[in-house]
Amino acid sequence: MAVLAGAAAVAWAPGAWSTLPAAWWLALMAGSVLAVGAAWQVSAVGSDAPLHWDGRQWALGEPGRLGRLSVALDAGAGMLLRFDPQSGSGPLRRRWIPVGRRSAGSGWHALRCAVYSPRPGPGGHSAAASPASSE
């Protein structure tokens, strides 16, 4: 998609050169380069990096690198997820994970529920649910 946008900008450029100020032209080209770079970063995560949720934390890849997962963009039939690894769980590099309803198949609803569910506290649910002792 970003490659198509960049190609359209390049094809449009000769006619627009005479009508756009130079600053707008440079901004358009810089935006196109950034869009292509962002598309490349998003495509860097493939099926070789599975995402796992154990009910308490997220892990990415095999062996799993633990980290925080958040929704960067939710378009209904697709989401762009951001995975920020924890220190000590492998290379500290933010990963962008595009996920679609079609690629997730029957696990789409469960994935959306897991992504949007509140995270348990450090003590887990059992610490919050334990009754206070009465003396």
Residues 8 and 69 in one domain: no
Write down the pLDDT at residue 104: 84
Write down the pLDDT at residue 46: 47
Write down the pLDDT at residue 47: 44
Write down the pLDDT at residue 93: 80
DSSP state of 60: E
Asked if residues 83 and 98 have their Cβ atoms less than 8 Å apart, the reply is: no
Residues 34 and 75 in one domain: no
Residues 62 and 114 in one domain: yes
Asked if residues 69 and 51 have their Cβ atoms less than 8 Å apart, the reply is: yes
Buried b (16+ CB within 10 A) or exposed e, 34-51: ebeeebeebeebeeeeeb
The pTM score is 0.56
Please give the tally of structural domains in the chain: 2
Range of the domain at 58: 51-120
Write down the pLDDT at residue 51: 84
Residues 38 and 56 in one domain: no
One digit per residue, the tens of pLDDT, for the chain of length 135 reads: 556 666 676 666 666 556 767 777 778 778 877 776 666 555 554 445 788 888 888 888 877 788 889 999 999 889 999 988 887 656 668 888 888 888 888 989 998 998 888 877 666 555 445 455 444
Write down the pLDDT at residue 71: 92
Specify the 3-state DSSP secondary structure of 52: strand
Residues 83 and 36 in one domain: no
Asked if residues 91 and 55 have their Cβ atoms less than 8 Å apart, the reply is: no
Residues 37 and 98 in one domain: no
